[in-house]
Structure 1
Amino acid sequence: MFHFKNLFQDGNKKKTILTVIIVCLLIIIASGYLYIHSALKAVNPHHQTEKRIEIPTGSNVLKIGTILKEHHLIKNPYVFAFYARLHHDENFQAGTFELSTAMTLDEIVQRLQKGGIAAIEFTIPEGTQIDEIAAIVSKHSSYSQQQFLKQVDDPKFIQLMIHKYPNMLTAAILSKQIRHPLEGYLFPATYSFYNKNISLQDMISKMIAKTNDVLSPYQEEREKKQLSVHQLMTMASLVEEEATGDVDREKIASVFYNRLAKNMPLQTDPTVLYAMKQHKEKVVYKDLKVNSPYNTYKHKGLPPGPIGSPGEKSIQAALKPAKTDYLYFLANIHTGKVYFAKTLKEHNALKEKYISKKD
């Protein structure tokens, strides 16, 4: 016989079980939410003292979370990893960081993305030559000048860079007349490296990448002027070495282009000094006889390649020289002021007035 009472009891029992399950699930969800919400907050909001930690190169997001947990900077590495992936914030930097337990998870993520304390940092001034860059790197890292020069002139590395930046680095840099194939292509800027064990190859690659980034917007303008990248960088390096101020760069570039148009030698002193591998304020007559393809007193046209690393302003001047009839210029070494002339007679008069009488 069918008993409605038993059926009713069974139905109530199932409803009770279902209710218990739902309540348990809600408790678990609520607890999970509260735990995650708590994990997103600072471990100790009142403790501002920062700890220095090291994030190794190649660390994935969970490994970073584990390191943070070991230093008591976060509450749970899995919540950290989930949060980072959920917000697409996995582009973390390796290196040394200073973090505190007063920082929220979001603040820690932002700090890890921006980069920590630079393990290696240096500035390459405009016009710096590769030999000088080697000295700068040596001063601020564990690498010697010789190691830097060996890497920057390594044929395999150069070919790798040519393959990576075919629109910038061409066969022109491989001329046997060129002292350093990558001269002029290590952009003058401040560089910060957060991994103390960074390789020289990666360090130099960043400098070359910076040059590529700076040059890319000028491609159309350069092509209209019918200049190769190598010609542009060579001209810009001459302007950089001769310029004493921003206002003179376009005029100096115009003198060089005007002389090239008239098949006159450029006769710029910095090329002589580059040929001599020297740095001094004044070039004397005997210096002009140095036997080198870089000597623009002996050879017409541009030198084989850049004589230093030009900054962006000199690159712009080489692309947009002033429209002048000037064929000569000289700089007063005492004031830095540059004087321009259209004729040799005018130039000699300026030289007598501002140079010879002060020697």
Structure 2
Amino acid sequence: MAVCVIRRKTLSKLDSRKKALHTAETQAVNHIVAWVVGIVITVLVIIAFMGYRYVHHALGAVDAKDNQSLTVTIPSGATTKMIGTRLENKGLIKSALVFNYYVKFHNVSNFQAGDYTLTKAESLPAIIRVLRGGSAASDSAGSVLVKEGVTADTVADAVDKLKTKDPQYTKANFIKLLKDENFFNQLEKQYPRLLKSAKAAKGVRYRLEGYLFPATYTVTKGESLKALITEMVGKTDSVMQNYYGSIARQGYSVQEVMTLASLVEREGVAATDRRTIAGVFFNRIATGMPLQSDISVMYALNTHKTHLTNKDTSVDSPYNLYVHTGYGPGPFNSPSETAIRAVLSPKDRDKGYLYFVANLKTGEILYATTLAQHEQNTAQFASDNGN
């Protein structure tokens, strides 16, 4: 009996020690968890506080003592990001990022296109109220319309026709700026993702061909020609923000995408056809065939023709994609966003199409995998059109 009592006491002591050890371990774990949670909460509080201070600071005036008037143009169809970037570039707000989040958080809409006279002494909310109320400035010198699929030379013609007494707004000056390497380098630094591959291109006519985005641009009295071109390039960069990731994932350069998009823009009208045409071009590039786009030849000739001759398609130019394989030096015009999307999401590549021909009267497009099929399609459309 004495032995049993001793064993019970020994087991009791062991149980007590285990409980004490378990309690100590639990307390230690709780202390560690509390310590970690405390650190996390402290970090989150610090981040929230710093974020609040940053946003609060960004909502204030850039310089409460600076009442000098600055004019900013908000073009028709401008996105929130574009408006914020433009205001930040003008020095009227501290952060385009805060502007974008503020607009989304407060569900602000109905910004009015036009010319606005603002100062750095106005807060971000005050500037937003002005932009929603409509333009109060009356110093517009007119507008320049860049249509989808037009060349830089055509844009220069539109600038030349602008009804302004400012002597800088001429076609010659516009073209001169497009050829100005120093000006291009400035733009490339401002929009590196957009223009990096354009900077590396060889044999281009204009480095900014294809980067003057289709839109209507209001010109303010006193606005420089450089500012107008910068606005056009900035609009392109704003649109392309949605596609830079896809371009990188697919292994293309921006220059390649814009080049094919400029061809797709002119070769097709319907979005579905544009995607299939993009697929044809990619199939040709993959097999080492020249793209044989009439658009490239007309750009090389710097003229427009309904029908090209053998002499035309043999013209000595790096832009002649009847002779040269690959993408060519660069874009042939200013493509629309629809054409850009078509290039990044081509259709029917698995069908192996290498040819297409369009009915000039109906717009219908027929595709072929062989030259014999293509010639039959061409003959069919010629017969339909009475040729």
Same fold (TM over 0.5): yes
Residue of structure 2 in register with 1:170 after alignment: 196
- The one-letter amino acid of 2:320's match is N
SS at match of 1:157: helix
1:129 to 133, 143, 151: 151
How far apart are the structure 2 equivalents of 1:126 and 1:259?
25
Shift of 1:204: 0.3
In structure 2, the CA distance between the partners of 1:123 and 1:158, relative to structure 1 (3 Å rule), is: same
Q: What do residues 210-257 of structure 1 show as CA deviations (whole Å, max 9, x unaligned)?
A: 000111111111111100111111111111121122231100000000
5 Å-filtered alignment, 1:194-233, equals: 195-233=220-258
- The one-letter amino acid of 1:291's match is D
2:356 to 321, 326, 329: 329
8 Å Cα contact 1:214-1:312 kept in structure 2 = yes
Shift of 1:342: 1.6
Unaligned runs of 5+ in 1: 1-59, 65-84, 98-105
How far apart are the structure 1 equivalents of 2:132 and 2:289?
56
Shift of 1:141: 4.3
How far apart are the structure 2 equivalents of 1:339 and 1:93?
42
1:150 to 176, 188, 191: 176
Q: RMSD of the alignment, in Å?
A: 2.8
Shift of 1:172: 3.8
Unaligned runs of 5+ in 2: 1-64, 70-92, 94-98, 100-111, 118-125
Q: What do residues 29-63 of structure 1 show as CA deviations (whole Å, max 9, x unaligned)?
A: xxxxxxxxxxxxxxxxxxxxxxxxxxxxxxx8756
Q: Does residue 380 of structure 2 align to residue 340 of structure 1?
A: no
How far apart are the structure 1 equivalents of 2:131 and 2:191?
32
- The one-letter amino acid of 2:218's match is S
Residue of structure 1 in register with 2:341 after alignment: 316
- The one-letter amino acid of 1:328's match is Y
In structure 2, the CA distance between the partners of 1:144 and 1:215, relative to structure 1 (3 Å rule), is: same
1:276 to 292, 296, 301: 301
8 Å Cα contact 1:173-1:305 kept in structure 2 = no
Percent identity over the alignment is 38
8 Å Cα contact 2:276-2:347 kept in structure 1 = yes
Q: Does residue 205 of structure 2 align to residue 179 of structure 1?
A: yes
Residue of structure 2 in register with 1:80 after alignment: none
Q: What do residues 51-76 of structure 1 show as CA deviations (whole Å, max 9, x unaligned)?
A: xxxxxxxxx87566xxxxxxxxxxxx
8 Å Cα contact 1:93-1:113 kept in structure 2 = no
How far apart are the structure 2 equivalents of 1:309 and 1:245?
17
2:380 to 348, 353, 356: 353
Residue of structure 2 in register with 1:304 after alignment: 329
Length-normalised TM-score, structure 2:
0.63
Of the structure 1 ranges 326-335 and 197-206, higher mean CA displacement relative to structure 2 is found in 326-335
Residue of structure 1 in register with 2:272 after alignment: 247
How far apart are the structure 1 equivalents of 2:174 and 2:301?
21
Of the structure 1 ranges 269-278 and 240-249, higher mean CA displacement relative to structure 2 is found in 240-249
8 Å Cα contact 1:162-1:169 kept in structure 2 = yes
In structure 2, the CA distance between the partners of 1:113 and 1:163, relative to structure 1 (3 Å rule), is: farther
8 Å Cα contact 2:297-2:319 kept in structure 1 = yes
